[in-house]
Amino acid sequence: MQHLLAINDLTAADIQALFKRADNLQKMTVSERRQRQLGKTALCLFYENSTRTLMSFQLAAQNLGMQASALTMAYSSTQKGETFDDTIKTLAAMAPDTLIMRHPENHIHQHVKSFLPKGIHLINAGDGQNQHPSQALLDLYTISQHKNNIEQLKVTVIGDIKHSRVANSLIDGLSLLGNNNIHLYGPANLIPKVHTGKTAENLKQALTDSDVVVMLRIQKERFASDESLDISTWYAQYGLDSEKLKWAKADAIVLHPGPMNRGIEIASEVADGPQSVILEQVKNGVLIRQAILDHLLS
């Protein structure tokens, strides 16, 4: 595989192989792991804010013996008027083994791919509201650590679905793994029409008998100027507290890609509660990103 731009670049077998690779990397000693891709390089180019994705890609690369550098927009020459294409060509001229990029524009990685020199692996760390494949992989990996028969699980995704590349990639990934038991709930204007068949009528219906609950942030920065929202009623209508979580199965797990807005989409009692796997997602993020890099570079 040359690049990872969307979860649909993978097959179900590829996903299972990545999970196996993650398991194997986990079992290695630190020095064995550092030999895996010793001396190779990763450049992280982030045009949007990031905590988890940026740090975990860098850590993942370093854990494999790679050298990783990050450029975030506040410090780049974009501020001095350099065009996007010139920035990419400049970084490509440094001949990194991988370019890991996050950008607010949908599908921009396809454009980058069209002129990126052969030999540089491009990884999508999130493009607009389109795709976030490494997040879907770490979400699916986390789910599979807690639940068998992933294809049968009832998975509920609640919140701002429309602006969520996390939801898009997760829905595609679940469907690759044979799960079409996905239930979405949020304000009608924040559920894209393509997902109408998966939309629940109310929160109770969405959560009842659910095995996996995924909460999403209101991604205000991705709202178009004509899109509006009343945040004051969000928590009452779409927020998850421990009372509402009782509608789901007793052993349901709760995921959130982060960053969380406590008291808006999720109560602290749930975020920090026994059913939350939110910090496991973060931990698995480092491992899954190691598996992605190791797979692309091997």
> What does the binding site for ligand NCD look like in residue numbers (CB under 6 A)?
52-53, 126, 132, 135, 165-166, 217, 219, 257-258
Shortest Å distance, C-beta 76 to ligand NCD = 19
Q: Convert 128-191 into a string of H (helix), E (strand) and C (coil).
A: CCCECHHHHHHHHHHHHHHCCCHHHCCEEEECCCCCCHHHHHHHHHHHHCCCCCEEEECCHHHC
5 three-state secondary structure: coil
Question: Which is nearer to ligand NCD, 3 or 217 (by Cβ)?
Answer: 217
Question: Which is nearer to ligand NCD, 159 or 249 (by Cβ)?
Answer: 159
Question: Which is nearer to ligand NCD, 92 or 277 (by Cβ)?
Answer: 277
Residues 51, 258 contacting (CB under 8 angstroms): yes
Neighbour-count burial for 23-44, b at 16+ CB within 10 Å, e otherwise: eebeeeeeeebeebbeebbbbb
Shortest Å distance, C-beta 264 to ligand NCD = 12
Question: Which is nearer to ligand NCD, 98 or 135 (by Cβ)?
Answer: 135
255 three-state secondary structure: strand
Shortest Å distance, C-beta 270 to ligand NCD = 17
Distance in angstroms (rounded) separating the CA atoms of residues 176 and 139: 14
Residues 64, 293 contacting (CB under 8 angstroms): yes
Shortest Å distance, C-beta 41 to ligand NCD = 23
Question: Which is nearer to ligand NCD, 169 or 179 (by Cβ)?
Answer: 169
* Six token digits for residue 207: 């959560």
Question: Which is nearer to ligand NCD, 120 or 136 (by Cβ)?
Answer: 136
Shortest Å distance, C-beta 73 to ligand NCD = 14
Stated as kind and residue range, the H or E segment containing 57 is helix 52-63
Shortest Å distance, C-beta 257 to ligand NCD = 4
Shortest Å distance, C-beta 9 to ligand NCD = 18
Question: Which is nearer to ligand NCD, 53 or 210 (by Cβ)?
Answer: 53
Alpha-carbon distances of 65 from 52, 53, 177, rounded to whole Å: 20, 19, 31
DSSP classification of residue 226: T
Cis peptide before 259 (omega within 30 of 0): yes
Shortest Å distance, C-beta 117 to ligand NCD = 27
Question: Which is nearer to ligand NCD, 133 or 249 (by Cβ)?
Answer: 133
